[in-house]
Amino acid sequence: MMGAERKSMVMSEKEKRNPAYHESGHAIVGRLMPEHDPVYKVSIIPRGRALGVTMFLPEEDKYSHSKRYLISSICSLFGGRIAEELTLGFDGVTTGASNDIERATTLARNMVTRWGLSEKLGPLQYDTDSEEPFLGRSAGQAHTVYSPETAQRIDEEVRNIIDECYETAKRILVDNREKLDMMAEALMKYET
């Protein structure tokens, strides 16, 4: 699922520490958030371009997601970066969370612009990416159907969702620091 194991990549104990905390952060936040899919597997065996992976597996097929589920997902995406922050300090945080940040931001923006899950902006669709590019504009050209003020309100609402999720995930990991340390130690020892 994540590509072949990179057996040629041998990581020192020090190098294993960060991915171990990062993946533990995802798993613990995901486990403790409501309506989140259960943790299926956590590994710090490098595969593909990733130094580790936390996999969640739904107990049943899902065809739509609640706002609570989406918030839980965003929180768990930030769990890895926050675990790095707690162990390495803000200046020690790595680029390892870049995909997590991208995915969290995309979810938050979709909640506001596509799925009508913003209380402040209501059940309106602001996303215009799905429109046909053949209707008088080129494919690379940005197209909005709302004012700059609405664009600012959208950005503010996305920022609010991100900030609330970040703080929720941070509170969970601070309150469960002992579990975070224990899980990271186990991952450094067993790798999966």
Task: Give the active site residues.
Answer: 23
Looking only at the bridges linking them, the beta strands covering 53-56 and 39-43 are antiparallel
Q: How far apart are CA 94 and CA 97, in angstroms?
A: 7
66 with 117: CB under 8 angstroms?
no
Q: What share of the chain is helix, strand, coil (3-state, %, to 5)?
A: 55, 5, 40
Q: How far apart are CA 28 and CA 72, in angstroms?
A: 12
Cβ neighbours for 71, distance < 8 A, ≥ 6 positions apart: 33, 161, 164, 165, 168
The CA angle 161-162-163, to the nearest 5 degrees, is: 95
47 with 53: CB under 8 angstroms?
yes
21 with 180: CB under 8 angstroms?
yes
